[in-house]
Each structure stands twice: as C-alpha cells, then as structure tokens.
Amino acid sequence: MQALNSERSALNHIRVFEAFAGYGSQSMALRRLAEDYPRFSFEAVGISEIDRYALQAYRAVHGDVTNYGDITCIDWGDVPDFDLFTYSFPCQDVSFAGKQMGFTEGSGTRSSLLWECRKAILAKRPGWLLMENVKVLVSEKFLPLFREWEQWLASIGYNNYTQVLNAKDYGVPQNRERVFMVSTLSDVPYFFPNPLGVKCCLGDILEDSVDGRYFLSEKMVDGFIHRNEVAKEKGNGFRFEPVDGFGIAAAVLTAAGSRADDNYVYACAVRDRGDGNRQTLETGGSVVNAVTSVQKDSMVMQLANKVADMATKARGEECGVNVTADGRIVTFLHDKKRTSVQEYKIDSFGSYGQSVISSRSPLMYDECLRIRKLTERECFRLMDVSESDIDKIQAAGISRTQQYKMAGNSIVVAVLYHIFRKMFIDKECETKQLRLF
C-alpha cells in the first residue's frame, strides 16, 4: 500500500480529500495550479464539513462534491482512495483569540479533532498530507503536543516538513502567519516555496464604492479612542493604529471589522463645494489594524497626494505638490503658458483621524477621511479568492456575518498554490532551507 500510494503521488492526476473543508480554499488553489500547468489535474473525492454555511459556499464554488460530514463519524472504508489529505483542523482552542484550552487527545475541545485524522490516514495511507493552523501551534505552550502528532506520523512512515509562512510573502497584502506541515511517504524531500514578495497594496483590493452601513459612527470611534486611552494607562499600547494605505493588512479574522482589533479602512469622500456642476469624486484609503490616534505628518502627506491627483483630474493638467512647514498643502498646476499656484489648508484634524481639507482656490473641494469596516468582498480578496468565486459565494445568499466568519477561518489561496506547486510541479530546492521545528 505504501509503495502504491507513493507512486500515485508522482502522477499528474491527484485525488484529494479536504477535511474541515470550509469553502474549499485547497481546491481553489489546486484548480488554479491545473489552469497554469495543463499536465496537472485533480479531483476532490470528498470533504468533511459540518458548518452548513461553509458547505453552502463550498457547493456554490465547487459543485456537489460528496460531504461525509462529522469527521468523528466517517467510515473511511466508504470513502474513495485519495492521494492528498488536507486537514486544517479547528484553531479555536489554540488561537490567542480563544481560551487556549489546547488539543490534547480525548479532551473534547474542537482543536482535539486533529486526532480523528489518524483514522483517515491509517485507512488510506495517502502519499501526501497537508496540515495548516495558527502560528501559536508551534509555540512553547503547544509544541510538545505538536511534536506528539509529528512523531506519530513519523512512526507510520511519513517524512514531515514544517514551516511558518506569511501571506504577504506570496503576493497578497495581508500579514497572516500560519504554520504548515507537509508530510510525504516519498523519500524525495519537500522544499517550501521561496518568498515572492507582495505584488499589490491594500488600495488595490478596496472596492471603489462602499455602502454607508460599513462606515463607523462618530460615537463608535469615540468609544475606540476611550479604550485606547485605558489601554495606554495600563501599558497595553494603542489598539487603533493606522498604517500606510500602500501597506499590508493585518490578518483577516472571523469577525472582521466588528471589533477593535480587526481591520478598518480610511475611506476618502470628495465633495464638490463649487457651482454644483462637478461630479463627486471617490478615492480609496489607508488601512488600519485597530484603533489609535493618527500621526499628523503622515496624514498630511497622504492628503497632499490626493489633492494633487484631484487637481490633475479637475484641470486636465498634471500638477505637482508641496507641503509647507505649517502643514499647508500647495499644488502647482503646469501648462505651456503659465504656472498657477493653489493653496489648501487643513481646517480640522480630529483625534480619531477625521480630517477636512478645504480649498481657497476655484477648485473648491472638500476631502473627508472616514473610518469604515472592510467589506466581505475585500476580506475574500485578502484571502486571494477569485472574483468569480466571490460572486458565487455571495450569490448563494449567505449572510454578511457568515461570510466574514468563513473568510477569517480559511487559508490564503496564493500560499496554498505555491505549497502545491512545490509538491507536484517544481520539487527542486529554491533556496537553502533549514528545519525550523
């Protein structure tokens, strides 16, 4: 059986079983791999998923793949053979966001469902295994239990390779560190993909037009600021901290945008204050991890760049921009005959990041920065779900709350894509890598 499954793993057609499937990020990545490498193909022979909303999303994206349900109740003799077993077991009892009750076998915690995977592995002996979970799984607290699992796999013939990978290293603007373990029956060593860097910034994934229900009220922002002050007095630091709009988002959580340690966006609304003939302009904004005061200097520069862009669009002429020592923003409009100077000043700068720039020039625009939640689509984009798959999930009639939850529970598709690429396409070592755990 071992030799047979090792041979299967070298084939171009891979059969996969997704345990704890969610909306099927593993199959999304494998499908993308098959599109890029026509000699590779795969089929999902089954999944295990008990969340009805996640199952609804999975079927909307992948079709009617057989769901064997609760992993504790599966008779693996009834399941077709498979070459790849993926098991992103529940993280709630490991994650810092939970109570960290652990995953000791027989403890009854959700995370202890890991040990149920032994039945599948013993019954089918797949050539490849892929585990994913939160980084704290390999922390000092949980490392002994993780070692116990790793040693069990080794005792039945698997070679194990473990690495913490960050989504921002694989083309996605999200700071999401997760631990992955690839296990193989083959004697050919596995090499994790080399970091590729970020190919886009947060501004590239933000929607152009967002409904007003996503924007935070002034009362809510004031509440965040109060929490910040309390945290600061206790020495815990700020929780509402804007980062550069061209930077990286914090990890998408299951309750994205609904509490102080999730992602929020500065959305810029530009209003015409002139003769009413100019159209409203909307621009993207910066991203914040949580809530804290903003730095005026960096905000002035962000606004200056937007003013320059706004003036260019309004005049049809390229303009330069300069920021004076007192915070005034000066734009320079150029054409062949003249150079005109237009001066803007900051009329107000609130402690929670709401700023207004008013113009003393004929442009007469206001630009107001407001704080809003990430939308569900933006969270899915940060998980590298394709637009067509997002459309299918949202067309399935799943609530906003459940969409946030399933995005936060999933795995970034781009990371999986490159892990699978190193499994099945390019098995060479890209760089010298050391065993970390």
The catalytic residues are 91
**Crossing angle for the helix pair 400-409 and 52-62, to the nearest 10 degrees:** 80
**Which of 250, 271, 245, 270 has the alpha carbon at shortest distance from 261?**
250
User: Roughly what angle, to the nearest 10 degrees, separates helices 52-62 and 387-395?
Assistant: 130
Taking the C-alpha atoms of residue 262 and residue 378, their distance in angstroms, rounded to an integer, is 13
The residue whose two tokens read 């959580």 is 253
Q: Say if residues 82 and 4 touch (Cβ distance below 8 Å).
A: no
The C-alpha atoms of residue 230 and residue 34 are separated, in whole angstroms, by 52
Contact 399, 428 (CB under 8 A): no
Q: How far apart are CA 412 and CA 176, in angstroms?
A: 9
Cα torsion 102, 105, 106, 110 to 10°: value is 50
Distance separating alpha carbons of residues 338 and 335, to the nearest angstrom: 6
